[in-house]
Amino acid sequence: MEPGRNCTMANFTSVNCTAGNVTTAPPLPSLPLIFATAFPESVPQVVYLLTVLVLCLLGNTAVIGTVWLDERLHEPPNFLLSGLCAADILYDLLIVPVMLNVLFTRHYTFGQTACDIMAFFHILCTFFSMMMTGAISFERYHFICHPMQYHNKFTGRRIWGLLSVCLSGATLTACCMLPFLRSDPPFFYPAPMYCVSHAILSGVVGWIFFMAAGSLATYSQVRIYLEARRHLRAIQAGNISGHSAEDFRKKIKSAVTTTAVVAIWWLSEFPLITVETILGAAPHVTSVGWQVTHRVSRFAYFISTCSNPIVFAFRNRQFRHAFKKLLRPQAVHSFN
């Protein structure tokens, strides 16, 4: 096949196929069953991506708007949650439309600039989400295990500082990694349907961020579990009762919610980063099984972008009441 020929799904398996100064990765076999990009196999994928995008936009926007408008929700965990919501919205808005474009048109039409933008924000949003997940878990750990020190450590200024540090770190990492991810022309990968180079550096740095955030989140959850078990035993023995017991039960509820968020994050992030690291270290691996695994892991990651903040927020009774109040016509005025 001569260079310059359009990259339709029929010839995506050619390494010489180009479209808008974008070439494919090494030859890949056609994906089977519902993972194929041709109609009608693409219909379930389109429905899934549209559902994820709508849920992400509506759910995360509702969380941010409610926290912003209700002063009673101006608390450290809600500010951290809003940062995570913003990253999820930006990620889905940039990545999902490109994947939908490929499924609808059956070819990739974007050039070098679009690939650079996708690579930059892919790294920025992913790494920022990792750090926010770790920060939320660490904040809940102090809230439950060290209540006497909590209000001194997690002030409003420090929370904004933490958000700034996480955002600056993710931005700096994305800027530093972008030159190593670029190729001329850039590669388009049919399996995950995005245009980002699988440089081994990306996998290594991704694992560093993932293990740092994952270790912090897991450590926090283990300590919360041990503290909860100790208090529950004291409650059962009658050593803690009344208001103290009820207050701790509320804390346990928030801890269970955080645990669910971390579990969803692990289950959605770990498969993707593992598959991409393996394929980055061994780009010659092009079997059907690996390509299907890559597509599935990419789709699974979107679950965390639309479920984590929603699960975290809507298990909070105060948040639910504030959100219902926001839906009323006089809601905005009542917050002033």
pLDDT single digits (tens) 82-141? 898 999 999 899 888 888 887 777 666 666 777 777 778 888 888 888 888 888 888 888
pLDDT at 12 exceeding the cut of 50: no
Half-sphere exposure (CA, 13 Å, Cβ side) for 293?
A: 16
Q: Using 50, 70 and 90 to split pLDDT, how confident is the model at 51?
A: very high
Contact (CB, 8 A) for 195 and 21: no
What pLDDT was estimated at residue 16?
40
Q: Using 50, 70 and 90 to split pLDDT, how confident is the model at 199?
A: low
Encoding tokens for residue 33?
Answer: 């069953």
What pLDDT was estimated at residue 202?
60
All structural domains of the chain, each given as residue ranges with its CATH number in brackets, are 39-182+191-335 (1.20.1070.10)
pLDDT (tens digit per residue) in 13-31: 433 455 555 555 444 445 5
What pLDDT was estimated at residue 217?
82
Q: What angle do CA 290, 295, 298 make, to 5 degrees?
A: 120
Considering only 59-63, 130-134, 253-257, 320-324, which range has the smallest mean pLDDT? 253-257
Contact (CB, 8 A) for 5 and 158: no
What pLDDT was estimated at residue 11?
47
More confident residue, 322 or 231: 322
The most confident of the ranges 8-12, 35-39, 72-76 is 72-76
Considering only 25-34, 55-64, 157-166, which range has the smallest mean pLDDT? 25-34
Q: Across all residues in the chain, what is the average pLDDT?
A: 74
Across the range 272-281, mean pLDDT stands at: 76
More confident residue, 243 or 267: 267
Q: Is the peptide bond before 40 cis (omega within 30 degrees of 0)?
A: yes
